[in-house]
Amino acid sequence: MLKIRQEFYLNKKYVIFTILIIIFSAMLVLFYLNQTNQTDINERTKTLVKEAAELIEENGEAAFPELREEETKWFNNDTYVFVWRTDGIRVVYPPDLEGEGQNMSTLIDSTGKQIGRLFIEIALSEDGEGWIDYKWPKPGESEQSNKKTYIKLAIYGENSFLVGSGFYLDIN
């Protein structure tokens, strides 16, 4: 009887150990997939902004109507490119055209982060581009979510613009 209990106890230990290994392995796979997905979203967003900046540098304000067109790479569902002048005036905002013409330089997130000023600083920095993380509600929601936006400077003639696009970090 003692031998049966010892075998059962040993088998139970092996089963528990095996289950723990499987759970740990699954967690590693999920972590890897999440990191890969995050890298893909970062790259897609950065590429989109750089292409929009190139379009503006080639065509100036004549590019703005194209950036507002729905169901394009520039504006599709919750993904869109926005454009401000570097003085903070928003000149392209596809989700709400009535928001164009507003001074966004004093825009802050729910934590008090001065994202309007930071967008402009990123565009006017030596690199002329970069990422910013902040809190912002998803469309139609009041709860704040983590958002990440890529900003790039675009120059056409005497005009300087900041071009940006972002995504919510909890979207897979």
Residue 5 inside a domain? The answer is no
SS3 8: helix
Residue 30 pLDDT: 47
Residue 29 pLDDT: 43
Residue 124 inside a domain? The answer is yes
Residue 8 inside a domain? The answer is no
Residue 8 pLDDT: 60
pLDDT < 70: residue spans in the chain? 1-38, 171-172
Strand partners, 137: 144
Distance between CA atoms of residues 168 and 22, nearest Å: 31
Residue 11 inside a domain? The answer is no
Is residue 129 a contact partner of residue 150, using CB atoms and an 8 Å limit?
Answer: yes
Residue 78 pLDDT: 83
The number of folded domains in the chain is: 1
Residue 12 inside a domain? The answer is no
CA dihedral 45, 46, 50, 51 (to 10 degrees): -40
Residue 2 inside a domain? The answer is no
Distance between CA atoms of residues 155 and 54, nearest Å: 9
Residue 24 pLDDT: 46
Is residue 56 a contact partner of residue 86, using CB atoms and an 8 Å limit?
Answer: no
CATH code, domain carrying 142: 3.30.450.20
Question: What domain range includes position 91?
Answer: 29-168
H-run or E-run covering 162: strand 159-168
Distance of CA 89 to the CA centre of its chain: 22
Residue 93 inside a domain? The answer is yes
Residue 20 inside a domain? The answer is no
Residue 138 pLDDT: 86
